[in-house]
């Protein structure tokens, strides 16, 4: 039985997990009660929750916890190695500048799409959501937090979370890792042993993460199941216009904006999406750009033809700061929703502020994971009620799948475009229509059972 399951393509396993999760979520909701609440995007079941709801919650939270546990070593080693790899690239400073510039350009386009759809659909005026759900979130973002968060309180910014565990600040991790990577470049040959060990640790961490990724179908059952059990279709229906507008914005960016940018650079959108698909589908399921990082980097190099020396810098940087879904489309639409819901008129200046926050805000909120914090930063900048965040919490898990898929697509798109502009892209590899590597070959080479299109971490 297990052998037969291994032969099922990974994409099919994920889709089956999605279907099973929805079905079990509906059963759990029918069983009742399903007491529980989302805290920063994680459902904490109530003491009276039925056994099926509690089981789905445990499965989903365990999968997210495994992904979160691997974040610290992955970010630190990936960024250090990516910075060190820049010495292999000519015009490294120009490449870094071009990468950041295209991050900003695509973010500006994405937020413009979000604002346009918000003005067109007026989601806040067409919602029947219960105003009693409006409550301020436990965690918020602010520009002051961004500035103070640049300086780590200790090495890697690790600190106790009060529950016996350790929390971390992604922004501080990035700052420390960049500093170490730059120092390694300046030291020169003396840093070679350190970089060799760091590369080995990165390879091991990516292998462990790959094993976690293989649990994605099971994690999907828990994540989707607990969302359906907790909120059902009633909450989704009351926010239907908002959900539809967000996914319409994501679709416009994915199916119109990105393809146009690719065509303008002489690249085939069909070939790009065929190559990037393994990362996109995993992002949709895992809802984690960091968790998808090894797959994104793999397909960017092997399927899209971006040189490893550049991809190993641009993709990890994008996984922590390039978020067209979470930091551009979503906060723009959500801010307009909250303003309309609370009858607050937005001026031209407010819309310009939304665009500014979206372009630079993804870095400002890197220390606190999640689009919820990005939204609180946007709302606080505009002076809108933070209680409006609670109105949208019910549909956040559903939206987060599409947002993360868009994020990861952009994280693969920008390195591809920049590599093409700089004459670094392997066009033969990009245009190649060679078949995906068979499962048997992947398993034999890497000793791992799974079936994604060449996603094995390098």
Query: How would DSSP label each residue in 142-191?
Result: -HHHHHHTTS-SSGGG-EE-SSSSEE--HHHHHHHHHHHHHHHHHHGGGG
132 CB-contact burial (10 Å; exposed 0-12 / middle 13-18 / buried 19+): exposed
Cβ burial 290-327 (10 Å sphere, 16+ → b, else e): bbbbbbbbbbbbbbbbbbebbbbbbbbbbbbbbbbbbb
pLDDT at 136: 45
Tell me what the mean pLDDT of segment 398-423 comes to.
Answer: 91
Per-residue pLDDT reduced to its tens digit, 426-447: 998 898 865 444 333 333 344 3
Q: What is the pLDDT of residues 77-132, one digit of tens each?
A: 888 887 887 776 667 778 888 998 999 899 999 999 999 999 998 887 755 555 44
**Interstrand relation of 159-160 and 36-39 (parallel, antiparallel or unpaired):** unpaired
- Of 214-223, 338-347, 364-373, 383-392, least confident by mean pLDDT is 364-373
The residue-averaged pLDDT of 151-156 equals 64
pTM of the model: 0.74
Q: How confident is the model at residue 187 (pLDDT cuts 50, 70, 90)?
A: confident
> So what's the pLDDT on residue 269?
95
- Token pair for 303: 């399927």
In contact, 322 and 105? CB cutoff 8 Å: no
């Amino acid at each position: 039985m297990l052998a037969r399951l291994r032969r099922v393509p990974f994409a099919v396993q994920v889709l089956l997990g999605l279907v099973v999760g929805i079905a079990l979520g509906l059963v759990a909701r029918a069983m009742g009660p399903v007491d529980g609440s989302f805290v920063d995007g994680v459902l904490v079941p109530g003491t009276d929750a039925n056994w099926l709801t509690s089981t789905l919650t445990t499965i989903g939270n365990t999968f997210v916890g495994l992904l979160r546990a691997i974040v610290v070593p992955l970010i630190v080693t990936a960024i250090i190695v990516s910075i060190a790899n820049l010495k292999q690239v000519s015009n490294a400073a120009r490449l870094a500048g071009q990468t950041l510039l295209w991050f900003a350009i695509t973010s500006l386009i994405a937020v413009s799409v979000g604002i346009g759809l918000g003005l067109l659909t007026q989601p806040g005026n067409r919602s029947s959501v219960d105003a009693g759900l409006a409550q301020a979130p436990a965690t918020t973002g602010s520009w002051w937090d961004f500035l103070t968060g640049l300086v780590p309180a200790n090495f890697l910014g690790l600190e106790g979370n009060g529950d016996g565990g350790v929390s971390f600040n992604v922004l501080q991790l990035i700052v420390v890792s960049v500093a170490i990577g730059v120092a390694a470049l300046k030291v020169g040959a003396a840093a070679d042993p350190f970089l060799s060990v760091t590369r080995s640790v990165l390879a091991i961490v990516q292998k462990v993460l790959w094993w976690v990724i293989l649990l994605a179908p099971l994690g999907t059952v828990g994540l989707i199941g607990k969302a359906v059990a907790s909120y059902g279709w009633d909450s989704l229906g009351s926010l239907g216009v908002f959900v539809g507008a967000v996914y319409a914005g994501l679709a416009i960016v994915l199916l119109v904006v990105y393809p146009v940018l690719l065509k303008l650079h002489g690249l085939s959108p069909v070939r790009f999406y065929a190559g990037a698909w393994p990362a996109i589908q995993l992002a949709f399921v895992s809802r984690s750009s960091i968790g998808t990082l090894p797959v994104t980097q793999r397909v960017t190099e092997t399927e899209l033809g971006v040189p490893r020396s550049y991809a190993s810098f641009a993709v990890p940087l994008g996984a922590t700061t390039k978020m067209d879904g979470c930091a551009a489309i979503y906060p723009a639409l959500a801010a307009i929703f909250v303003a309309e819901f609370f009858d607050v008129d937005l001026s031209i200046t407010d819309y310009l502020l939304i665009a500014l926050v979206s372009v630079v805000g993804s870095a400002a909120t890197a220390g606190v994971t999640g689009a919820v914090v990005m939204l609180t930063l946007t709302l606080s900048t505009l002076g809108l009620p933070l209680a409006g965040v609670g109105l949208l919490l019910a549909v956040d898990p559903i939206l987060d799948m599409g947002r993360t898929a868009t994020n990861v697509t952009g994280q693969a798109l920008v390195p591809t475009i920049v590599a093409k502009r700089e004459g670094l892209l392997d066009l033969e590899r990009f245009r190649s229509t060679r078949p995906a590597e068979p499962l048997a070959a992947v398993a034999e080479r890497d000793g791992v059972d799974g079936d994604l299109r060449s996603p094995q971490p390098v």
